[in-house]
Amino acid sequence: MALMSLALAGTLAVTALAAPDRAAPAVSCTSGKAGLAAKLRRELTAALADRGGTVAIGLRDRRTNTTCTLRPYRRFDSASIVKVTLLATLLWDAERKDRYLTDWEESLAWSMITKSSNKATGTLWSRVGVNKVRSFLKEAGMTQTVPGSYGYWGLTRITVRDEQRLLALLTRENPLLGADARAAILRLMNQVTDTQRWGTPAGAPAGVSVHVKNGWLPRATHGWRVHSTGVFRGNRRTYTITVLTEGNHTKTYGVNTIQSVARAIHDNLNPESRTAELHTPPAPAEVIPPLPPG
């Protein structure tokens, strides 16, 4: 695996936690619901107050016309959350050609999303081709995303702004992805294996359906990249959350940062559910997955 040595070298180099960014920009929130923006801004700021590394946040709730952002244009290595973009590209291209996915493509897509299989991703990345990924990104308005070169799909450069644009495409009618394609992607994100259902689902009420994709990767600079992006539907609302992080000394540290953010969001968007059963993700295994080239 071409990036095996890169991943292992990154682990050896990650020995100290990056200090909190004292010059960090402030969380920005707006809302059509009185008082909600200020409360979210205050609680998200508190959730990050003692966290090291660099964090970017995106939230969009249609029901209350609420948005929150932090570093929406900061680029991060994607790790595995680029797999949703790849699947969207595959389905977009199939719709353009008026064809269904083959059984083989469906099997690869299932493994890529639900198990985060790097092998399946590399196969699909090669089959789809980086030029087609670029074409989808252009059509989707994801102009800040830069696909990884030479088959290194996990080094695609992403932003919160573009990830939130992708989630918006998955949750509303649009000319790029038809209803069947949107449903297929969300269905697989809902079937992610239990050991990978950490991150943005933390604190979601039991009545809300969870659709999630996470990514994690250590490198020699900026420590662990740990990301989580999710769609949440229920209680007469649909909202999307993206949290991207780097500068984490372990994967678990990044996961905990993301989950602190997620709990603040779910709690404020679902106040009627505060006494209900909440989603508690399992602790992630501290595993370094090799990241193969496509």
How does DSSP assign 124-143, residue by residue?
HHHHH-HHHHHHHHHHHT-T
Rounded average pLDDT per 10-residue block, the chain, 294 residues: 34 46 82 98 97 97 97 98 98 97 98 98 97 98 97 97 98 97 98 96 93 97 96 93 97 97 96 64 55 40
In the chain, which residue ranges form alpha helices assigned H by DSSP?
A: 4-13, 36-48, 82-96, 103-114, 118-128, 130-140, 160-170, 179-190, 251-269
* pLDDT recorded at residue 8: 31
* pLDDT recorded at residue 272: 80
CB 235 within 8 A of CB 270: yes
Beta bridge partners of 53: 20
Pairing of strands 237-248, 224-234: antiparallel
* pLDDT recorded at residue 286: 47
Q: Which of 179, 202, 196, 160 is nearest to 67 (CA)?
A: 160
CA 145 – CA 161 distance, rounded (Å): 9
Beta bridge partners of 49: none
Q: Which of 26, 125, 30, 27 is nearest to 78 (CA)?
A: 125
Burial of 280 (0-12, 13-18, 19+ CB in 10 A): middle
Task: Using alpha carbons, list the distances in angstroms from residue 177 to 51, 129, 170, 212.
Answer: 37, 19, 8, 18
CA 192 – CA 255 distance, rounded (Å): 16
Question: Which DSSP letter does residue 68 get?
Answer: E
Angle (CA) 207 209 211, round 5°:
155
* pLDDT recorded at residue 20: 53
Angle (CA) 259 263 268, round 5°:
155
Q: Give residue 104's identity as a one-letter amino acid code.
A: W
